Amino acid sequence: MADYFKRVQAKTATRFWINNVTREQAHLAIEVGARNCTQNPTYPWKMLNSREEGEEAKALLDQILREEPDNETALMKFQLEMIAKIAEIFEPIYRESKGKDGWVTIQSSPLHETKEFIVEWGKRYREKAPNLMVKIPATENGIAGIEELLRSGCAVLATEVMSIAQLIDVCEVYEKVYRFAEKPPAAALAHIAGIFDEELAVQAEEGRIHVDRDALWQAGVAVAKKGREIMEQRGYHMGFVSGGARGLHHFTEMVGADAAVTINWEGTADKLLSEDGIVIDRFHGAASLDVIDELLEQVPDFRRAYERKGLKPKEYESFAPVVRFRNSFESAWKKTLEYMEKRRTEL
């Protein structure tokens, strides 16, 4: 099998994570170099429709439905049990690396994102497996939950980071905990360059923005580069993950960064392995000033994301790229709830 990801990790500081995997995909990803895994709230719906594991997933859900009368709680339990199976696969890496790697993330219901709900379920996840990392949106409520869970010792991945303002806020929260904790919990943030680019592409297609497509292609990674540079300049201790890939360039343009990139197996990781391309540091090749100027002038949401004070905390949740990402989670979550409601009538 091609060794592209192993070469990336041997020749640069960039790490390969895998996203939303089945058990088979988890094993394949580890074989080619994956060290950690991200899962998101679309996972339960994906597994119910999996060719390989769908029947097993449905049987597990049936069992939970017989024991738990509340659908939302049943779905949370189902997701936890399914992701715990992936955590078990990554646990040897966690043990071997003494907690540096082998993490698997889990995010609670996208329909209930209060601080209290996030914290309650975050603590439940911690009890399930030692290598489960709680994935929390970098919204105003989410950041409050992140701080409380970090102080309790939970490992955290701050997700839905689409702007420099969000990045700085979550990093500052971790620094407060890091300075005084005898053993700070593992923590990272996920900047979602791919979904950010997807949102801007839709705005361009609909005629809401008018910008050169070559410049637009660079937008998400340009924000990522600035964010990573700020973290290095300020000495922030939080890890950096790039996610939401919508093209191979969302991995290849990050190569060279002291960061992780999480990608799906089908359609991204498998294609990169097939191409087995040359490993070259592309991350430190900055976008031209003309490109940045055009994006700042022509794309309001790029400006909000790129400027350090482009967004206020109360605006994080309603920022268009964040809404797009959350909508995908809510859609899959609601489909699963609808399936569960129908299934109850058949049991």
pTM for this one? 0.96
pLDDT digits (tens, 9 = 90+) for 66-117: 999 999 999 999 999 999 999 999 999 999 999 999 999 999 999 999 999 9
Q: Which pLDDT value is given to residue 2?
A: 82
How confident is residue 286, by pLDDT bands cut at 50, 70 and 90? confident
Amino acid at 94: Y
Q: Which residues contact 119 (CB under 8 A, 6 or more apart)?
A: 145, 148, 149
Domains for the chain: give ranges and CATH numbers: 4-342 (3.20.20.70)
Identify the residue whose tokens are 């967004």.
311
Task: Count CB-CB contacts under 10 A for residue 284.
Answer: 10
Closest CA to 167 of 63, 240, 87, 270: 240
Asked whether the predicted pLDDT for residue 145 surpasses 90, the reply is yes
Q: DSSP readout, 136-193?
A: EE-SHHHHHHHHHHHHTT--EEEEEE-SHHHHHHHHHHHHHHHHH-SSPPPEEEEE-H
Mean pLDDT taken over the chain: 97
Question: Do the beta carbons of residue 158 and residue 152 sit within 8 Å?
Answer: no
CA distance 242 to 261: 5
For 92, the 3-state DSSP assignment is: helix
Average pLDDT in the 114-128 region?
96
Helix then strand count (H, E) for the chain reads 16, 8
| Contact (Cβ atoms closer than 8 angstroms) between residue 134 and residue 79 | no
Separation of alpha carbons 334 and 303, rounded Å: 33
